[in-house]
Structure 1
Amino acid sequence: MGHSRGGLTSRVHLLSDDRARPLHWLTSPGQRGDSPMFAPVLDGLRIRRRGTGRPRSRPDRVCGDKAYSSRDNRAYARRRGIKAIIAQPDDQRLHRKRRGRACGRPPAFDKAQYRRRNAVERCVNKWKQFRAVAGAGPDRRPADGRLLTRCDKRDYIFNGTLTVTAIVIWLHDTVQEPSEVP
């Protein structure tokens, strides 16, 4: 756990598929930025193949919000052959404009693919349906004394809670509703 403006908090850096299922995540203290966690999260990706062979560790594309926009992250994705669809913040765009031709052209950006970034948000919402994950901050009690949210104090316990929740999400996604019998 780390300190942020809100007190003791932790942050989850998540990689999910297009069906809003968690693939890999890392936790960090609340004050730590998003951008330095881009490469470690991608490095931890391992998806088992149906047949024989090494697990897949390189996605076709990665979509991220403006917090992950940096030259280092884009260069890392380029080295690994991953198409990075990350929006540029206004300050980076203005800085490049101010430098003129010396700064080069803007990075490629596919708006249609960027709209699919909400899969991560949907995955987070699925996680937050579970009470133990919903409260990533300190315990708060209202005036009547009931417990609103719960937070695990240790990182390995919180990761265990996230793992159990991810398993439930994956199992729920694989269960098919019974077909109607005519």
Structure 2
Amino acid sequence: MEYFIMLPDERVPLYKNLDYSNPGFQEKEPFVAYGDFSEEDQFPDFFYGKTMFHFCFCITDRLKDVLDVYSSNIQAIPFFLTDKSYRSQIVCWRIDCPVEDCLLAEGWEKENSLTLRGIPEENPYIFRVVREKAQYIIVSLELAENILRRRLYGVRFIPVRKGGSLCQ
């Protein structure tokens, strides 16, 4: 099975204005986050940010509907992304995917050099990998194709290389 890193499209600037140090991003309860956007803006369906020691992966309702079909192991906390000036609001979800220890230790310089040892047994469609200073959501080819068919906005994929034995 082929795998891809799911990343936000950096040409979409809207997700960059969020303050991920908001305590709600670390909590397990719904919260409100404020950003700068208007009702006419098309908000990306996948975005993420980080604080000093924490990564926050966020999705819209449209992408959550797709991910729910492929995994029951994703924890999703709703939050309400509210614009500071126009008071428009959209429902988003901070997700936490299961972490798999299946990266080869070599070639850790860039995203496009990630190599998997094999296929994770428990979470074959979507999982998270953790490196020293970065975390990534990895999706299967089947899930990536489904996301692309739905024409979700602001999502891109980078292929991941395969290596030797199965993931732990």
Higher RCO, 1 vs 2 (CA within 8 Å, ≥6 residues apart): 2
| Higher strand fraction (1 or 2) | 2
With normalisation by structure 2, the TM-score equals 0.23
Structure with larger Rg: 1
TM-score, structure 1 as length reference: 0.21
Structure that is richer in helix per residue:
1
